[in-house]
């Protein structure tokens, strides 16, 4: 007997009529839905939303995201809707590939939001540096014009 069949309640294995209400689905599929697929919990739905947020920030669809972390699209889809909790390997791969904080991904801790604020400040700093460079160039032009006008007098 296969391992998956051992976990099916004994009375269902003995009495084939007990399976009649499942229609023509194979026992392995029924077992999967009864015992493996777990009901959505608040925690799994929240984790799925954070995974979706990371994926959306990268501008990727589920297939591209899954390929980047060496997983399947179905795994990502199930994780995003909260019916499957991805294993630690997948969570770590998401963090490694997309530079996310593991604790934020797992628990929703606000360190990820700190990263967003840091990235925004970094971008603003870059814009200010570019503005300073433009102003320096204008100042140099003004100096040259002043030198020329003072030299002609």
Chunked mean pLDDT (size 10), the chain, 153 residues: 51 48 55 55 87 93 93 91 87 90 80 67 90 94 89 68
pLDDT of residue 38: 56
pLDDT of residue 33: 54
pLDDT of residue 24: 55
Of the candidates 83, 86, 52, the residue with the CA atom closest to the CA atom of residue 72: 86
> For the chain, how big is the Rg over CA atoms in Å?
29
The pTM (predicted TM-score) of the whole model is 0.50
Question: How many CA atoms, within 13 angstroms, populate the side-chain half-sphere of residue 149?
Answer: 6
Dihedral of alpha carbons 123, 129, 131, 134, sign: negative
pLDDT of residue 3: 54
């Amino acid at each position: 007997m296969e391992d998956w069949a051992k976990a099916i309640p004994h009375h269902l294995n003995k009495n084939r009529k007990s399976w009649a209400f499942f229609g023509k689905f194979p026992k392995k599929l029924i077992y999967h839905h009864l015992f493996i697929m777990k009901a959505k919990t608040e925690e799994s739905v929240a984790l799925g939303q954070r995974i979706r947020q990371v994926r959306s920030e990268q501008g990727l669809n589920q297939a591209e995201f899954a390929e980047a972390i060496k997983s399947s699209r179905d795994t990502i889809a199930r994780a995003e809707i909260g019916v499957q909790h991805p294993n630690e390997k997948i969570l770590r791969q998401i963090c490694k590939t997309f530079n996310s904080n593991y604790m934020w991904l797992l628990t929703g801790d606000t360190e990820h939001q700190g990263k967003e604020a840091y990235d925004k400040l970094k971008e603003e700093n870059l814009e200010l540096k570019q503005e300073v460079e433009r102003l320096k160039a204008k100042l140099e032009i003004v100096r040259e014009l002043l030198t020329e006008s003072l030299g002609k007098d």
